[in-house]
Amino acid sequence: MKFSCTQENLAKGLSLVARSVGGRTTLPVLSNILLRTEKGRLRLSATDLEIGIHTWVGAKVDVDGAITCPARLLLDYINTNTDKTINCELKESTLHLESERYKVNIKGIEASEFPLIPEVKKSVEIELVSQDLITSINKTVIASALDESRPVLAGVCIQASGNKMKLVATDSYRLAEQTIILDKKINSEVSFIVPSRTMAELSRILGDGTQKVRIYPGENQVEFVTEETILFSRLIEGSFPDYAQIIPKSSQTEVEVTTPEFANAIKMASLFARESANNIKLKIAENKPLEVLAVSPHVGDNVSSVEGKIKGEALEIAFNAKFILDCLQVLGSEKVTLSLSGNLAAGMLRSTKDLNYLYVIMPLRTEE
């Protein structure tokens, strides 16, 4: 194998795949990145057996070949190297890298030992603008469970049929759903659960969001394809909860407030709610500002007022401050609507700008 590549392109490609390199692993080759030249381009690959990434980098290829090299060493060396062009040549199982001022030899492991990343059978294709997918991931992944005691809750469920695709996540205390209108109808109905970690990684890989992305769900794997990069991931087995029944169908009280002001009031109250598991209270009544309260037996108490439009019955309701803040930080809307139907019923936050997004949050029981 012999090729040359710009430092900038190589650094970009390596940083893209490096995060899917296996960390604590008994297989040394999983700590490596596979470099393979094919069809006049350099392909970089990494996997931890749950997520796998291929990305193609422009290079001048003289001789085809393949080798795996330690990911951390290779990435650090390329990032530290400030020369414009790097020439690489493989001799036996050692990769020789030479640029204007630097020469290094990196010992690798044979490419044959690198695990194969199986391709997904492309029976269903979902195509969309990557910015729509990035926004949807950021708005939904916040609601997925952090622990994996119930694996299906530690992922994002993707459901698609016709010209609509939904991303849904829930940890049983809150739920986020984003609907995307597709330009192309799909030929069948699909539903699959992708690990939250994969979705977060995908959002990072998609970058500036200007390209198209195609999704190919398989039996136990899914493939996300862009112009230069393919991300593979295992799917989570099991059935996603029938969440539609917990989405409120009507409301007795509606509050419309400015998102930054509401977020600031929640942050202020959360300072006094740390001892009570982030428990804050909202006091709502027509013709009065919304009040956000928190009480700490040891620290003190707080009341913040937020001007807004309030319609319907007066009530007091308690929520986890973090759960509300998570939503407000990704909403991307100047104003937010909170719909309520009682102090023990689920509340719903919605953007006034994007009606295709909803966020349902369960209330907390409080001792009067």
Q: What is the DSSP string of 87-136?
A: EEEEETTEEEEE-SS-EEEEE-B-GGGSPP-PPPP-S--EEEEHHHHHHH
Containing 285, the helix (H) or strand (E) segment is none
List CB contacts of 264: < 8 A, sequence separation 6 or more: 304
Q: How far apart are CA 132 and CA 145, in angstroms?
A: 23
Q: What is the pLDDT of residues 24-39, one digit of tens each?
A: 777 899 999 999 998 8
Dmax (CA) of the chain: 79
Q: pTM of this prediction?
A: 0.93
* DSSP result, 290-347: EEEEEEETTTEEEEEEE-EEEEE--EEEEEEHHHHHHHHHH---SEEEEEES-TTS-E
The CATH number, out of the four listed (3.30.1370.60, 3.20.20.70, 3.10.150.10, 3.40.50.300), of the domain defined by the range 247-361: 3.10.150.10
Domain boundaries 2-113, corresponding CATH code: 3.10.150.10
d(CA 159, CA 125): 13
pLDDT(66) > 80: yes
| 126-244 shares its CATH topology with 247-361 | yes
Write the single-letter amino acid at 242. D
| Strand order through the sheet with 229-234 | 66-70, 32-38, 41-47, 51-58, 229-234, 221-225, 212-217, 126-129
Contact 46, 69 (CB under 8 A): no
The C-alpha torsion from 324 through 329 and 330 to 333, rounded to 10°, is 100
Task: Report the first-to-last Cα separation within the chain, whole angstroms.
Answer: 73
Domain residue extents for the chain:
2-113, 126-244, 247-361
367 pLDDT band, cuts 50/70/90, is low
Number of H helices, E strands in the chain: 6, 26
Split at pLDDT 50, 70, 90, the class of 314 is very high
For range 190-207, the mean pLDDT: 94
Residue 145 backbone zone (phi > 0: left; psi -120 to 50: alpha; other: beta): beta
Q: What CATH class has 126-244? A: alpha beta
Give me the pLDDT at residue 73, please.
96
Q: Check residue 166 and give left, alpha or beta (phi > 0: left; psi -120 to 50: alpha).
A: beta
Mean pLDDT for 203-216 is: 89
Q: Is 366's pLDDT higher than 80?
A: no
Report pLDDT digits (tens) over 110-132.
Answer: 999 999 888 888 889 999 999 99
